[in-house]
Structure formats: C-alpha cells, structure tokens
Amino acid sequence: MLTIKKLQEFKEYLESGAFIEDFEMRPPDGQAEMLDLLDLLFEICEKADEILSKHFYKQWGERVFQK
C-alpha cells in the first residue's frame, strides 16, 4: 500500500526538478519507463476519482431521496 510519506516524497521529487534531471540523463528506454510511471499515476488518479465520485454521488443521492 502506498503511504502518504512516499507520495509526498514523490511530489517533492517532481517539484524539485530532480525528476527532469533524472529523465534527461537516462537512455530512451529509461525515459520511457519514467513516462510509463507517470502514465500509471494518472490512471490511478482517474480511477480514484471515479470510485470516490460514485461513492459520494450514491451517498448524496440517498440523502436527497430520504428528505
């Protein structure tokens, strides 16, 4: 399971410019791996948004119908 600490560290890695530095020093296959990592991160964010939206939409809908 991911931890908040690990996510914060990755965020700081991106913000510091170290990600781009590492990216530029890697060969093309290493760059592709780093881009795949970001692509997977975007997919995870989209999935989390979808799941949470459904969850809260269901809760809100139930409250509307209870009134």
Residue 9 and residue 61: Cα distance in Å, rounded?
37
Q: Which of 16, 63, 39, 24 is nearest to 47 (CA)?
A: 39
Tell me 10's DSSP state. H
Instruction: Output the pTM of the full model.
Output: 0.75
What pLDDT was estimated at residue 43?
98
Q: Which of 14, 15, 57 is nearest to 37 (CA)?
A: 14
What pLDDT was estimated at residue 37?
97
Q: Where are the domains of the chain?
A: 31-67
User: What is the pLDDT tens value at each position of the chain, 67 positions in all?
Assistant: 889 999 999 999 999 999 999 999 999 999 999 999 999 999 999 999 999 999 988 877 766 556 5
Q: Which of 18, 42, 39, 1 is nearest to 9 (CA)?
A: 18
